[in-house]
């Protein structure tokens, strides 16, 4: 069972299961070295104890702020996000979203998420203003408040698809350094930062985040519930030069309990955009038109 799970994860990470709906999944192949690599990636232990010189010169908040700058462009922007849920190597469902994001005066991100596919969900909207999240259904013309913790699809929650400034929403503690393998089995020297929610309205109570020391790229995250239960593990990969700098454009989310349940989030078509503040008002959602 262990090696079956490893092979499934490896197939997704290296793109062997890139085919979606209407195509047969390729045969999954792996060897013991690949299995060991993922095992090491899952169980990598931070280096505790005395801090190095680099730890003394950067605070946890500065490290998270630098990572936020990698994750999010510095001006209002839009992009397409495609989510595919897998059980084992088989795709189950797919969702395509257009996401608009803009920082407010407090440096927190407001987001507007428009559903594009499947067609039955087209033009449904999810809107984040501060830490308030609203859902609009054009059929019923109703806007209802929803939770960021609520499951959107597969292993992705509502809060996973809206832009977040982690340095604002979480307090940060620098736990140490760790040398771990990323999703492509390459060694990365990382800071391990432990994040704790400042408010109950954020998506996760606690996060362990591995951030590459040299580039401040997010490499891996572990996300926890209020009770401390591991909810999911995320790997950030496929760096692409987007709007002025390299950014991860794919996230692999693995269920915290059942490692055969995997969701792949792909981010494409980044553009700077003119986004008026009134888009983030609940009363405006029935009239929203992006183009």
Which residues in the chain come in under a pLDDT of 50?
1-8, 10, 13-14, 16-55
Distance CA 223, CA 230 (A): 6
What own/partner pairs with CB < 8 Å and gap ≥ 24 does 77-80 have?
77/101, 77/102, 77/243, 77/270, 77/271, 77/272, 77/273, 78/269, 78/270, 78/271, 78/273, 78/275, 78/290, 79/267, 79/268, 79/269, 79/270, 79/271, 80/116, 80/267, 80/268, 80/269
pLDDT on residue 19: 39
Q: How far apart are CA 253 and CA 265, in angstroms?
A: 8
Give ∠ CA 121-123-129 in degrees, rounded to 5.
110
The encoded tokens of residue 208 equal 């362990």
Residues 254 and 155: beta-carbon distance below 8 Å = yes
- For 274, the token pair is 């003119």
pTM above 0.85, yes or no: no
Residue 12 is predicted with a pLDDT of: 53
Give pLDDT, residue 22.
Answer: 40
Task: Determine the pLDDT at residue 88.
Answer: 87
- pLDDT score at 57: 82
Report pLDDT for 56.
56
């Amino acid at each position: 069972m262990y090696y079956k799970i490893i092979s499934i994860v490896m197939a997704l990470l290296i793109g062997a299961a890139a085919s979606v709906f209407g195509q047969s999944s390729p045969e999954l192949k792996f060897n013991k070295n690949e299995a060991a690599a993922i095992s090491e990636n899952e169980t990598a232990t931070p280096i505790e104890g005395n801090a190095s010189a680099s730890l003394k010169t950067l605070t946890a908040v500065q490290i998270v702020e630098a990572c936020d700058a990698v994750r999010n462009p510095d001006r209002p922007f839009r992009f397409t996000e495609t989510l595919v849920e897998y059980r084992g190597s088989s795709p189950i469902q797919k969702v395509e979203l257009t996401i608009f994001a803009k920082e407010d005066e407090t440096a927190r991100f407001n987001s507007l998420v428009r559903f594009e596919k499947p067609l039955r969900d087209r033009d449904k909207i999810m809107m984040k203003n501060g830490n308030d999240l609203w859902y609009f259904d054009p059929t019923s013309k109703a806007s209802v408040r929803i939770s960021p913790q609520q499951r959107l699809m597969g292993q992705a929650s509502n809060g996973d698809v809206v832009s977040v400034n982690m340095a604002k929403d979480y307090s940060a503690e620098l736990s140490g350094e760790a040398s771990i393998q990323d999703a492509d089995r390459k060694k990365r020297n990382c800071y391990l930062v432990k994040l704790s929610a400042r408010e109950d309205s954020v998506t996760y109570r606690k996060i362990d985040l591995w951030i590459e020391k040299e580039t401040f790229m997010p490499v891996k995250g572990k996300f926890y519930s209020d009770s401390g239960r591991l909810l999911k593990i995320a790997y950030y990969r496929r760096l692409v030069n987007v709007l002025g700098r390299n950014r991860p454009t794919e996230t692999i989310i693995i269920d915290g309990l059942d490692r055969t349940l995997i969701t792949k989030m792909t981010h494409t078509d980044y553009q700077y955009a003119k986004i008026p503040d009134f888009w983030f008002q609940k009363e405006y959602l029935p009239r929203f038109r992006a183009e």
